[in-house]
Structure 1
């Protein structure tokens, strides 16, 4: 336990002292989300990561690549190669979940996650940045010290409270997520009118049944808008109060759990709310963990908790990321100093990156000049927390994949070849297989992403003609029925916008795309 009379330094570091059991739960939750993310992405191995999909490697390198990025997933354009990497990532995430060779599993999982996200940035969202940072900071946290396979046969730690530069980085990172989210919401609908959630729930591409229930009540939406804005702006300060730390943390965890539960029930945001849930479990104070340990039997003897024997990983000494023998006192001190300095400098870099992102007034070249940004792109500590910022997107609508057969019949490929119908679907979100496709379709709209459109057209035509039961097409148009969100529950007339046209000759080969 912490010293009853800790002095000034002890008081100052209180907000950054974490329980080793909470870090173990953070490890498990992060690994579980990585596994779920892989499972959701797997059906689209070819569509999102193969050369026969919507983003061939050549197009990635030409339009969506930085010279400082790396991606093992871009080394092959075959879905079979991607499948091997997915299986490897799943195995490593499983090892991380168990706490088996934790440090090595953390580093390798982070490398593969960065590689995967770099392979297709057109389907990324804010939650991906947070998941990536949880793994990054986890490399420097002892989240395999307890409640892990690595802890078998080792004496229990003398203390469960733990402090380091990495715990500071973890707490500050969580605060930055919400502070920057709030500061980037500079539009009047967040700060003055209170109409942000009205417009968010007006987006049929995002609206879930929970949001549909709240949508008819403008005053409630106005109250919730200001509540969300000021919660994001003010709640993180509670993480830095050095008095009554456990109660402030319980407040933060409880409020954020409810906040993200509400988001998950009302808006179609994929894994966003689950990633945020995972991110806060490391804040759980000892009082909550003691209660949890009693309920789940975490204090049972190790032989009862771990009845299965797993093989040891034998690696050349140059590749070892884990100690195989007790270090000397000198080596311990040197390693600790190097780690703390690196984490501290990286945290400072991350803070400046975020400050540059939200700054209203910037010096010429920004607070973080371009020559210094290579570190952020290489290690993927770059981040942007602009969820519904600075204002909520107003251009709503739905897609119609309008295909014309060789016999002149017009079909909608988005509805498995049913006759084209321009009326709004009962649930627009049902048109997307998952949130990755929804995010892709959102990016597809932007004029600066017009280069994406021919690749999508060609992909749609190819998979359509692979099914012999489908009628051959001679023309395909990607049509967006644009419906601008209006204030006061007014309904705009949808307008038909053709984003891409593909013409085929009789041999069903794409020859003209515009």
Structure 2
């Protein structure tokens, strides 16, 4: 008779299997602390750049004098929770922009990093909720990357926090301990190089699900599978600029670009399957394509946000090799000087913090602060492990649901909606943009003359020489595109009302009526011939009438 297996043998075999599986998962979810530091700097810089770009249309998009006053926002969108909607005055919104910029700067330099990350995320969500009509995929991705950053030790390296921690005798009293939220042998303590947690896996999967779901959506489009998609995008003049205005003359290059991009989308699982230098090679291919987008298409910050999102994919061997290369070939003297300056600044901040008056034990209301701290310590595993693991499952389910391969339970849907993390990634899918679109808004003035009140110029319905230049920014293009959408009829009135008020505020002769048109032209990318052209009247608006005028 065969000898039965002992309980100890079964337990040992099971432990071996679990150990090997854990090692495999840890190797693929590992993120280098230097990568997290670069990721943090990138996020902070992106937030500042985003605020600066939005500030150019601060009044138009985020105040009561703009295209979506709060009375319209609250009427059209249920459950709006936004600090930016507490006041409709430009000075109040500008103040929130300034606060968000200061917090983003703290994030970039790594000062009170976790707090700065969470506050930046909340302020970004508040800003996005204030006007959903101007949002794009880059906005969603930036918010999601910040969310995952809140669970990661972004300030462990290259930060003011790290310098303060190194120079403080009792870090638990004075310095936010970026490592304290990571537990386990793979957590990456102060002497380790990387972290491997549910949160590090989450930030990697966040990028992966975006490409996989977008690739599945593109499968439904004939132009992507046929190699013609990029050629059609490049003849949509409202998107192209810089090199994009010239590459249409190279159809073979555009066809190759289409196939390469589709192939990368379906090769994106290699970003998780591979590790080390092979993973870095695949990530670099994606980075290169996004940089190509950045110099050919005006799609706001999306390409740069995507590049920053790939930084965590460069693992420890890559960073070690980069450090060796810098030590051997780089400007080490300059780097040493900058390191000394940063360390000096960190010591200055630490000394200033230490010089502040601190309450004694008697002043702490009978140990209330100690109790709060103890409660926070007990809740740390929930924050650092359970919540990220939950959201890893939710984003995978949400991405599967978006392409028809799964379903998120109703409670999960509510959670994802609350934090704006629904996984919908249909950029240029299933079919790409195939038409050039522009807008005109002829207005009849009090003296009987006619002017385009949108562009403050003569009225012309002809295609402009450079359609992209007719939009003040990519956000204005996104906004006007959404206004054209059939389910946004109220916003056509809001736009016309804004055009009337803005013209009358800035011109001596008032405008009496405004008619907003969306015009388009479709060309054959193979020979440049026009195959379709038309105009569509969005609204005719009486500037002296009621706020909303729907026909």
User: TM-score, with normalisation over the residues of structure 1?
Assistant: 0.87
Q: Secondary structure at the match of 2:447?
A: coil
Match of 2:208 in 1: 175
1:503 aligned to which of 534, 542, 546: 542
1:152 aligns with 2:189: no
1:464 aligns with 2:503: yes
Q: Deviations over 1:14-38 (max 9, x none)?
A: 1211111110100000110000000
Structure 1: distance between partners of 2:538 and 2:117: 42
Match of 1:34 in 2: 47
1:473 aligned to which of 511, 515, 519: 511
Q: Secondary structure at the match of 1:88?
A: helix
Structure 1: distance between partners of 2:284 and 2:357: 43
Q: Deviations over 1:22-71 (max 9, x none)?
A: 101000001100000000011222111111110112222222x243x521
- Contact kept? 2:40, 2:154, Cα under 8 Å: yes
Where in structure 2 are the equivalents of 1:129-148 lying within 5 Å?
A: 129-148=140-159
Shift of 1:481: 1.6
Structure 2: distance between partners of 1:420 and 1:139: 50
1:212 aligned to which of 240, 245, 270: 245
Where in structure 2 are the equivalents of 1:97-116 lying within 5 Å?
A: 97-116=108-127
CA RMSD in angstroms, aligned pairs only? 2.9
Where in structure 2 are the equivalents of 1:363-512 lying within 5 Å?
A: 367-417=407-457, 419-468=458-507, 470-486=508-524, 488=526, 489-504=528-543
Where in structure 2 are the equivalents of 1:74-93 lying within 5 Å?
A: 74-93=85-104
Q: Secondary structure at the match of 2:506?
A: coil
Structure 1: distance between partners of 2:459 and 2:358: 59
Q: 1:38 to 1:283 in 2, by over 3 A?
A: same
Structure 2: distance between partners of 1:84 and 1:254: 39
Q: What residue ranges of structure 2 are gaps of 5+ in the alignment?
A: 1-18, 167-188
Q: 1:334 to 1:512 in 2, by over 3 A?
A: closer
Structure 2: distance between partners of 1:416 and 1:215: 31
Structure 2: distance between partners of 1:369 and 1:486: 45
Match of 1:335 in 2: 380
Aligned residues: 489
1:231 aligns with 2:264: yes
- Contact kept? 1:503, 1:511, Cα under 8 Å: no
Shift of 1:252: 2.5
Q: Secondary structure at the match of 1:356?
A: helix
Structure 2: distance between partners of 1:239 and 1:167: 12
- Max Rg structure: 2
- Contact kept? 2:109, 2:160, Cα under 8 Å: yes
Q: 1:331 to 1:187 in 2, by over 3 A?
A: closer
- Contact kept? 2:114, 2:150, Cα under 8 Å: yes
Match of 1:3 in 2: none
Match of 2:281 in 1: 251
1:352 aligns with 2:397: yes
Q: Deviations over 1:95-139 (max 9, x none)?
A: 001100011111111110011111111111111111001110001
Q: Deviations over 1:122-180 (max 9, x none)?
A: 11111111100111000100010111000114349211122111111111111111111
Structure 2: distance between partners of 1:512 and 1:22: 53
- Contact kept? 2:439, 2:517, Cα under 8 Å: yes
- Contact kept? 2:277, 2:318, Cα under 8 Å: no
